Amino acid sequence: AIAMKLGLVPFHFWFPEVLQGSPLTTGLLLSTIMKLPPMALLFMTSPSLNPTLLTTMAILSTALGGWMGLNQTQTRKILAFSSISHLGWMAIIVIYNPKLTLLNFYLYVLMTSTVFLTLNSIKALKLSTLMTTWTKAPALNTMLLLTLLSLAGLPPLTGFLPKWLIIQELTKQDMAPAATIISLLSLLGLFFYLRLAYCATITLPPHTTNHMKLWYTNKPTSILVAILTTMSIILLPISPMILTII
C-alpha cells in the first residue's frame, strides 16, 4: 500500500499519467507534499520490512524511472519518471539508515520544487516549447540547467550529496553489488536530465520549431524561486553541517 502511494515499481503506473494530466502547480504538490505521509509511514515501518523485496523494488524503480524517461517529450512525464527513479534511491537505504532516506527526500523536494516552479514561470510543458524560452528568461534558463544537473546527482552540486552518502552506507553494509547496480542505472536518468538541460539552454534549435520565440521581458524572478535555486546548487560544501542537523 505504501509503495502504491509513493509510486514505486511495480505500482507506479498511475503516477506519470496523473502528473501529465495535471497543471504544473498540482504536479508539484503530487511530487512533493503528497509523498510526505507515505514516506513517514515507510520511515516508521522500516525495521519490519523485507530487505530483499525492498532492495528489488528500489533497483527496479531506478531502472524503470531512467529507462521510461528516455523517450519522453513532455516535461511533466519526464519529471514523473525522475521522481520514480529518486524514490528507488530512498527505498534502498531506508532499512539500513532511515535518516539518509529523510535527507534524500528533503533534498529531492527542494530540487523538484525548483524545477517545477521554474517551468511554471517560463510556461514550458514540452521540450519543443522549452527550446524557445531562452529569449524570455535567459538567467532563469541558466539556473534551470544547473538545477537539472543537481537533480542528476553531478558533483559539486547539491544532488550529489545524498547519492554519495547512500553509496557509502550501502558499501558499509556489504551491499557493494547493489550500490554498483543502482549507480549505473542512475546514468539512464542522467541522459534525460542532460537532454532537458540542453533544450533549456540551446540558443538556436537544430530544426525549425512551430513555436514563436518569446522576446525578453523584464519580469522579475520570484524570490522563492531564487532562494530554492541557490539551495539546489550550493549545499554540498556545507554537507558536514547538514549531517549534524539530521
C-alpha closest to that of 82 among 70, 94, 100: 70
**Residue 228 backbone phi and psi in degrees, to 5:** -65, -40
Strand-pair partners of 168: none
More confident residue, 149 or 2: 149
Average pLDDT over residues 56-69: 90
C-alpha closest to that of 14 among 28, 30, 26, 38: 30
Q: What is the pLDDT of residue 171?
A: 93
pTM of the model: 0.87
Average pLDDT of the chain, as a whole number: 85
233/14 Cα distance (integer angstroms): 31
Average pLDDT over residues 80-84: 91
Domain ranges, ordered by start, for the chain: 2-245
More confident residue, 56 or 137: 56
- Give the side-chain half-sphere CA count within 13 A for 38: 17
C-alpha closest to that of 111 among 134, 135, 145: 145
**pLDDT tens track for 16-36:** 888 888 888 898 998 888 888
pLDDT-derived band at 38, boundaries 50, 70, 90 = confident
220/137 Cα distance (integer angstroms): 10
Percentage of the chain lying above the pLDDT 70 cut? 92
Average pLDDT over residues 68-96: 89
Render the burial of 118-139: b for 16+ CB within 10 Å, e for the rest: bbbbbebbebebbbbbbebbee
**Contacts (Cβ under 8 Å, ≥6 apart) of 100:** 93, 162, 165, 166, 169
Kindly tell me if the per-residue pLDDT of 113 is higher than 70: yes
More confident residue, 3 or 67: 67
Q: What is the pLDDT of residue 137?
A: 76
pLDDT-derived band at 41, boundaries 50, 70, 90 = confident
178/91 Cα distance (integer angstroms): 12
- Please state at what angle helix 98-122 crosses helix 223-234, rounded to 10 degrees: 140
Q: What is the DSSP string of the chain?
A: -HHHHHT-TTS-THHHHHHHTS-HHHHHHHHTGGGHHHHHHHHHHGGGS-HHHHHHHHHHHHHHHHHHTTT--BHHHHHHHHHHHHHHHHHHHTTT-HHHHHHHHHHHHHHHHHHHHHHHHHT--BHHHHTT-TTT-HHHHHHHHHHHHHHHT-TTSTTHHHHHHHHHHHHHTT-HHHHHHHHHHHHHHHHHHHHHHHHHH-SS-SS--SSPPPPP--PPPPHHHHHHHHHHHH-GGGHHHHHHH-
Q: What is the pLDDT of residue 217?
A: 56
